[in-house]
Structure 1
Amino acid sequence: MSTAVIDGSVPAPTSETTAPEINWTFLLLGFAGMVIGQFMAILDIQIVAASLPQIQAGIGASADEISWIQTAYLIPEVVMIPLSGYLSRLWGTQKVFLVSCTGFLVMSVATGLSTSIDMMILFRALQGFVGGAMIPTVFAVAFTAFPPDRRVTASVVMGLIVTLAPTVGPTLGGHLTEWLSWRWLFFINVVPGLLVLFLVGRYANFDKGDLSLAKGFDWFGLGLMAVFLMSMQFVLEEGSKNDWFADTAILVLAVVAAVTGPAFIWRSLTYYNPIVELRAFANRNFTVGVIMTFIVGAALFGGTFLLPLFLGRVLDYSPSEVGTTMVVSGLAMFLTAPFAGRLVRKLDLRLLMFVGFIMCAWGMWDARALTSEWGYWEFAGVQAMRGAGVMLAMIAAQQVTMSTLPDHMVKNASGLVNLSRNVGGAFGLAFLNTSLTTNTAVHMGELTDRISQSSVQMQAMLAGMSQRFAGSIDPDGAALKAVWGMLQRQATTLAFGDAFAMLAIACAVAAVVTLFARPVKVIPGAPPLEAH
């Protein structure tokens, strides 16, 4: 019997019974290059989060315009993520990744050189679109190029990247802005990007494309998908800022998404060569796993969004102080990853997902009691529990979602999994933003209702505050303003506690949903189960 040897690529199964010999140098170096590219693409979502004021001042943007620095990246990215599965089957993973990385680098430099908000929004949108292909293709390689007994290790690496990148983004961005300037948030991609191009171009020839897929390309389906996903993402990103359906644009785009979404699903199920193959949802584990990934996205991006916002808005932390506080979460994920990899091989994955979501819920529930007096160690405990829980849930969910799919479904499925995580994050952020605005107003009303200016305590406080502001033009007015600020700060703190509690409840519900998955245990050396 002959033995097939991989010369930088993973061949199709031969008719022989002998397993192909793997060139581990090519496989590991090529995969490493792809992982670095994936890290860059995910990192750039959040790397600007702590530096928006500096960017705003640098390009002369308004407060409303500057939020588009993140939105412009995310909206087109959600179109490329599911599309990348089709492109990988058409051209091959290596070519798609190289084109994606090259475009990402060019757009990164162009964004860093931008002199106006219009230029930056355009280049950020293009950066998100072309870079989006680097995210799901790594998942597909991990579940097709690696032998079954090594897929868990590859999955752990991906889980670490997916969870760490958005967590360390604000930290890295804050320090870069203070050390150099905000433009280096984008220029920093150049050196690792060149390394990615070399490694992927030299070693990542994992598969071959099938150009026959270009016949009958579903342009109509692509249009429906693009309109649906971009409309939905815009509504989720901008809805809370514009009072949702009270805004005409939000209402119109919500209706557009409601119409084009079902139309896209119908097209994908009936067209002979669809852009996105939805048959994977017939697999119960895949469906449960996508739901889990959706909630992981909400917990991951939601937690990463809430804490820096609280630290900056209520505690007045600088970008570097926010980054230093947030690093605990990333450290917890990093330390949990190797243990998670071992546990995935030994335990029922449903149990591991359940424990991960319960830990995440526990951490978020503890955070509901936060106050303006909390310090580094109080936040560290919350972050450590959430970070470890998210890592366990993420890695187990990846195995449950992908391990029972046949290889020919993996590329499309990886795009759907990554899309569900991003959309889950968008839903989470939209819900949390609305919750913060609404609950702050509610708590402010409750606090002011309990206070009467005729009360002895209130009069004594106002008198003391007036004496403190005796040197001002209007001491009494300054005293009232200061008291109002104290109440506003307390109301905001209570609203953040409510938001953390909502995340905790969502994670607890997810823990229950995990029990609906079919039993799956990763056995080293065993092939993946076929989908039912």
Structure 2
Amino acid sequence: MTPDSSATITYPTGAAKWILVATAVSCAILELIDTTVVNVSLREISGNIGATTTEIAWVITAYSIANVIVIPLSGMLSNLFGRKRYFTGSVLLFTFSSFMCGCSDSLWMLVAWRFVQGIGGGGLLSTAQSIIMDAFPPEERTTGLVVFGLGIILGPSFGPILGGYITDNSSWHWIFFLNVPIGVVAAFLSWKFVADLPGIVKPKIDVLGIVFLAIGIGSLQYILEEGTTADWFSSNDITFFFILAVIGLILFVIRELNTSEPAVNLRLYRNFNLAMGSLMNLIVGIIMTGTLFIFPLFVQVSLGWTATQTGAFMIPGMLVTVVGMVITKKTLEKGVNPKVIILTGLALTSIYLVMLSFSSPDSNAGDFFWPFMIRGVGAILMVMPVLGLATAGLTGKDLAQAVGLSNMLRQLGGALGVALLNIYLSHENAYVRNNMIPFINPYNPVSTDYVNGITQSMAANGYGPDESSQLAWQLTDAALNKQALLVSYNHGFMIVALIMLLAVPLILMIRYKETAAPVVMTDAH
């Protein structure tokens, strides 16, 4: 059930190679954009289709659950249907469901098509990565890592920008309609240029493995997406799905380790570095997605930026990742220990977060410019070697399996990062506010002068004494809330920077053996 080792591996060349790579990476970016593009448009969508704040969250949750279930199965499905058919079919399913999402006129119609879109999207991400990796011989694989690494950074970053611009200037329906022409072209190019893996024997379908994975991972993703809204374990639903997730994941692991043809080959992770690479992908997901989630909220809630302003500001920081890409490629090709590169990226990302943690009510785009330049370089320095670590020495069927699990863990890491930051910010905001309130009292000249100033301003504008006093206290309370949020976000940035230090021991545990070929991280190949 593995490729014939005697078969000669051929690699695409010339224009065909780069069309193939461009097609694969554009599909991966398209999928990743759709994980975040809807976030900034939820308010407009909910108002348009008459959904509550709680109900509209299912537009994101449905996509995420389908996505995270399919991603680890993509290797098996690719072998089952053939990589060309599976990838092209995933593109077409993603494109058609995008069109139907745009046509939806009710909440549950939109949720249903978002779930289908997530199924198609899940087939794009990991298959695209394995296509890109297999397009390069081992000595050139760094180039493939660069291309895909850039894609997984730009995709989630462009989502809020695109969503914000469309929300402010057009209709939310176009968030989905824009996928259609891109998808049609990608499907044509995929059918023409994507090749099946040689020597693959059609696998038997591991029905039980698929069912246990869907139950376990689907329930876990639901908990991470809905936990904050449902107040976690005070909700019977969250408790039920937590039990279901634990049972499903335990049965999944037992099943996959005791069947000859598993849906997901967990035995690959007997290789220490592959296991470490996947764990690092989880951490990268927590760091990159979590901090990307917190910044737009911070500037829009605390500093009053619009969605378009937020998106436009983040463009230069994304473009500088190209610089980081070149630096990483050159250093990897020179044989620099990947652990040094990952630690450098971790340090730069921590510096970016520490700089953000000193924000004030007077902060503006200029104050955040250099932190985001540093983030752009640090992100790619951290992501690329981790991608290489998680796929080192693998090709064909094994590569597709490892890629699927690594991407699943990065997606779960992103959801976990958002959930943890939501919990932290909620508790921290209450703590900060409770500590600030005692300073607003008749014996504090600063707060007294502030309230009296507003009261006099209201009176000068024609309000009566009682109304002026009431408005002054309301405005003071609003200012207090805004200040408490600002301090909470600052603490959030700092705490993530400190937590990142926990990844240092994991990075130092990576086993690196210098060889003639670049980016080879191994314990026994």
TM-score above 0.5, yes or no = yes
Alignment size in residue pairs: 518
Partner of 1:511: 504
Q: Do residues 480 (structure 1) and 469 (structure 2) align?
A: no
Which whole-Å CA distance do the structure 1 matches of 2:315 and 2:397 have between them?
39
With normalisation by structure 1, the TM-score equals 0.93
Alignment of 1:25-104 (within 5 A): 25-104=15-94
Q: Do residues 372 (structure 1) and 361 (structure 2) align?
A: yes
Partner of 2:259: 271
SS in 2 for 1:241: coil
Which piece of structure 1 moves more, 522-531 or 77-86? Answer: 522-531
Alignment of 1:225-240 (within 5 A): 225-240=213-228
Which whole-Å CA distance do the structure 2 matches of 1:149 and 1:457 have between them?
66
SS in 2 for 1:227: helix
Contact 1:354 1:512 in 2 (8 A): no
Partner of 1:410: 399
| Residues 345 and 256 (structure 1), Cα distance of their counterparts in 2 relative to 1, 3 Å cut | same
Cα deviation digits, residues 413-463 of structure 1 (max 9, x gap):
000110111011111000000111110000000101333234343333222
* Deviation (angstroms), 1:172: 1.5
Alignment of 1:146-295 (within 5 A): 146-208=136-198, 210=200, 212-214=202-204, 217-295=205-283
| Residues 378 and 525 (structure 1), Cα distance of their counterparts in 2 relative to 1, 3 Å cut | closer
Partner of 1:5: none
Q: What amino acid is aligned across from residue 353 of structure 1 in structure 2?
A: I
SS in 1 for 2:441: coil
* Deviation (angstroms), 1:25: 3.4
* Deviation (angstroms), 1:176: 2.2
Which whole-Å CA distance do the structure 2 matches of 1:363 and 1:498 have between them?
14
* Deviation (angstroms), 1:211: 5.4
* Deviation (angstroms), 1:292: 1.3
Task: Select 2:495's aligned residue among 482, 497, 502.
Answer: 502
Contact 2:220 2:241 in 1 (8 A): yes
* Deviation (angstroms), 1:273: 1.4
Partner of 1:6: none
Which piece of structure 1 moves more, 193-202 or 448-457? Answer: 448-457
Which whole-Å CA distance do the structure 2 matches of 1:94 and 1:528 have between them?
30
Q: What amino acid is aligned across from residue 445 of structure 1 in structure 2?
A: N
Contact 1:167 1:329 in 2 (8 A): no
Task: Select 1:141's aligned residue among 125, 131, 141.
Answer: 131
Which whole-Å CA distance do the structure 1 matches of 2:112 and 2:490 have between them?
36
Which whole-Å CA distance do the structure 2 matches of 1:264 and 1:154 have between them?
32
SS in 1 for 2:269: helix
Which piece of structure 1 moves more, 193-202 or 469-478? Answer: 469-478
Which piece of structure 1 moves more, 384-393 or 500-509? Answer: 500-509
Which piece of structure 1 moves more, 337-346 or 434-443? Answer: 337-346
Contact 2:103 2:173 in 1 (8 A): yes
Q: Do residues 362 (structure 1) and 351 (structure 2) align?
A: yes
Q: Do residues 469 (structure 1) and 458 (structure 2) align?
A: yes
Cα deviation digits, residues 221-242 of structure 1 (max 9, x gap):
1111001111101111111122
Contact 2:11 2:137 in 1 (8 A): no
Which whole-Å CA distance do the structure 1 matches of 2:428 and 2:276 have between them?
32
Contact 1:314 1:492 in 2 (8 A): yes
Cα deviation digits, residues 318-356 of structure 1 (max 9, x gap):
111111122233122233212211112121111111111
Which whole-Å CA distance do the structure 2 matches of 1:363 and 1:234 have between them?
31
Task: Select 1:430's aligned residue among 412, 419, 423.
Answer: 419
| Residues 189 and 15 (structure 1), Cα distance of their counterparts in 2 relative to 1, 3 Å cut | closer
| Residues 521 and 135 (structure 1), Cα distance of their counterparts in 2 relative to 1, 3 Å cut | farther
Gaps of 5+ in 1: 1-10
Task: Select 1:391's aligned residue among 380, 392, 396.
Answer: 380
Contact 1:76 1:230 in 2 (8 A): yes
Contact 1:145 1:206 in 2 (8 A): no
Q: What amino acid is aligned across from residue 291 of structure 1 in structure 2?
A: L
* Deviation (angstroms), 1:288: 1.3
Cα deviation digits, residues 156-198 of structure 1 (max 9, x gap):
0000000011011111221123333211110001111111111
Q: Do residues 317 (structure 1) and 310 (structure 2) align?
A: no
Which whole-Å CA distance do the structure 2 matches of 1:525 and 1:513 have between them?
22
Which whole-Å CA distance do the structure 1 matches of 2:113 and 2:11 have between them?
43
* Deviation (angstroms), 1:521: 4.7
Partner of 1:330: 318
Contact 2:512 2:520 in 1 (8 A): no
Contact 2:290 2:417 in 1 (8 A): yes
CA RMSD of aligned residues (A): 2.1
* Deviation (angstroms), 1:251: 1.1
* Deviation (angstroms), 1:48: 1.6
Cα deviation digits, residues 131-179 of structure 1 (max 9, x gap):
1110001222233342112211011000000001101111122112333
Gaps of 5+ in 2: none
Which whole-Å CA distance do the structure 1 matches of 2:221 and 2:481 have between them?
31
SS in 1 for 2:229: helix
Task: Select 2:285's aligned residue among 287, 297, 304.
Answer: 297
Q: What amino acid is aligned across from residue 415 of structure 1 in structure 2?
A: G
Which whole-Å CA distance do the structure 1 matches of 2:17 and 2:303 have between them?
47
Contact 1:237 1:430 in 2 (8 A): yes
Q: What amino acid is aligned across from residue 398 of structure 2 in structure 1?
A: M
| Residues 367 and 527 (structure 1), Cα distance of their counterparts in 2 relative to 1, 3 Å cut | closer
Contact 2:302 2:482 in 1 (8 A): yes
| Residues 401 and 178 (structure 1), Cα distance of their counterparts in 2 relative to 1, 3 Å cut | same
| Residues 456 and 363 (structure 1), Cα distance of their counterparts in 2 relative to 1, 3 Å cut | closer
* Deviation (angstroms), 1:13: 5.3
* Deviation (angstroms), 1:97: 0.5
Contact 2:197 2:396 in 1 (8 A): no
| Residues 209 and 111 (structure 1), Cα distance of their counterparts in 2 relative to 1, 3 Å cut | farther
* Deviation (angstroms), 1:49: 2.1
Which whole-Å CA distance do the structure 1 matches of 2:490 and 2:367 have between them?
14
Which whole-Å CA distance do the structure 2 matches of 1:14 and 1:312 have between them?
58
Q: What amino acid is aligned across from residue 109 of structure 1 in structure 2?
A: F
Contact 1:350 1:515 in 2 (8 A): yes
* Deviation (angstroms), 1:492: 0.5
Which whole-Å CA distance do the structure 2 matches of 1:529 and 1:514 have between them?
14
Which piece of structure 1 moves more, 467-476 or 119-128? Answer: 467-476
| Residues 21 and 403 (structure 1), Cα distance of their counterparts in 2 relative to 1, 3 Å cut | closer
| Residues 22 and 49 (structure 1), Cα distance of their counterparts in 2 relative to 1, 3 Å cut | closer
Task: Select 1:455's aligned residue among 437, 441, 444.
Answer: 444
* Deviation (angstroms), 1:212: 3.6
| Residues 73 and 492 (structure 1), Cα distance of their counterparts in 2 relative to 1, 3 Å cut | same
Q: What amino acid is aligned across from residue 387 of structure 2 in structure 1?
A: Q
Alignment of 1:108-127 (within 5 A): 108-127=98-117
Which whole-Å CA distance do the structure 2 matches of 1:79 and 1:209 have between them?
27
* Deviation (angstroms), 1:12: 5.6
Q: What amino acid is aligned across from residue 500 of structure 1 in structure 2?
A: F
